[in-house]
């Protein structure tokens, strides 16, 4: 039997990161036209990242962020059209939810360079350079119809307004001082009247539809559906929307259902499936208008297992 006198030098080593902040964020990393809808990026509080492929059952180390992001950053996965190699076209844009002038890396994008993935620094929204600006959260965000323009908006009480970022020219523009009437991410669904769907900004954050094809003025909600009727003593903390395709959505709402008198912070996540249909006239499906839309609510599922996000 041949003996090995010396083990070769290791090429890769995994080591647990020791930190008091155990926070993790999971961001979908796939272009809506790329078809690779199983990749996600996991990032910790220190900015370390790992790229996971659920379908391929693989995990790949990714470069660290230039600067860690706060909890639940804004993210967009965009398929770049100016890249010759299709499998390198996807880019993940990550923006701090609270943008500050003190941070030089509020906005970064994970792109594939000549040989590997790299985080690229991008210009922050121009309002951070205003001396009168106070740190304000990004309350709602979406991708416009061209698939390459990011739109972000502040809360209604803020004077920041709504801004757009062109990922091709890497330039910001101001849409207006008004705010989008939304909370969280909105999804553009061309097959449903070319409208956007999201959660309304006012409590209880109902499932809503609006038209963002023209941003010359403040858009208004075209539809506002009640998707859930929780018990009165449940306190809603946050919510999110996931488009599943074919007019179907998954709405996730997180509640504090504990007893406030005993400081019980028991949380629950309620996942609700809904479907939006276009109207039918004379036996044919009618497209192109919000008045013909109909929401069908399917079953709801409640979980007490500490669900953090639904991708």
Q: If the chain, 311 residues long, is cut into consecutive pieces of 10 residues, what is the mean pLDDT of each piece? A: 58 66 86 61 92 85 93 91 70 95 92 88 94 90 96 94 96 97 97 96 96 96 96 94 96 90 82 89 49 90 91 86
pLDDT for the residue 128:
93
* Backbone dihedral region for residue 108 (phi beyond 0: left; psi -120 to 50: alpha; all else: beta): beta
Question: Exposure pattern of 12-49 as b/e (b: 16+ CB <10 Å)?
Answer: eeeeeeeeeeeeebebbbbbbebeebbbbbbbbbebbb
CA distance 297 to 311: 20
pLDDT for the residue 33:
44
Residues 6+ apart with CB under 8 A from 307: 252, 254, 269
pLDDT for the residue 245:
93
CA distance 304 to 311: 18
Domain assignments of the chain as residue spans, ordered by start: 21-180, 192-311
pLDDT for the residue 68:
93
- The CA-to-CA distance between both ends of the chain, in Å, stands at 52
pLDDT for the residue 35:
45
pLDDT for the residue 196:
98
CA distance 193 to 289: 5
């Amino acid at each position: 039997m041949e003996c090995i006198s010396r083990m070769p030098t290791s090429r890769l080593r995994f080591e647990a990161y020791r930190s008091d902040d155990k926070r993790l964020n999971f961001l979908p990393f796939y272009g809506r036209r790329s078809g690779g809808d199983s990749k996600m990026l996991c990032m910790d509080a220190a900015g370390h990242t790992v790229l996971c492929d659920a379908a391929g059952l693989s995990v790949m180390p990714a470069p660290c962020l230039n600067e860690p992001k706060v909890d639940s950053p804004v993210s967009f996965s965009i398929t770049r059209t100016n890249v010759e190699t299709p499998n390198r076209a996807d880019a993940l844009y990550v923006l701090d939810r609270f943008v500050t002038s003190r941070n030089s890396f509020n906005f970064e994008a994970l792109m594939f360079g000549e040989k590997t993935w790299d985080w690229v620094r991008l210009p922050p929204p121009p309002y951070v350079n205003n001396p009168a600006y106070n740190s304000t959260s990004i309350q709602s965000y979406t991708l416009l119809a061209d698939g390459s323009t990011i739109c972000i908006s502040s809360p209604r009480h803020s004077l920041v307004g709504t801004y757009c970022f062109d990922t091709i020219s890497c330039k910001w523009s101001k849409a207006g001082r008004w705010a989008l009437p939304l909370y969280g991410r909105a999804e553009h669904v061309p097959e449903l009247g070319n409208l956007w769907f999201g959660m309304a900004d006012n409590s209880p954050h109902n499932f809503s539809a609006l038209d963002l094809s023209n941003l010359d003025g403040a858009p208004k909600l075209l539809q506002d559906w009640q998707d859930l009727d929780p018990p009165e003593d449940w306190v809603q903390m946050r919510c999110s929307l996931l488009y599943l395709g074919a007019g179907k959505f998954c709405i996730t709402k997180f509640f504090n259902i504990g007893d406030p008198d005993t400081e019980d912070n028991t949380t629950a996540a309620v996942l609700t499936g809904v479907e939006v249909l276009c109207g039918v006239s004379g036996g044919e499906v009618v497209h192109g208008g919000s008045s013909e839309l109909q929401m069908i609510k399917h079953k709801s599922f409640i979980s007490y297992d500490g669900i953090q996000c639904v991708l």
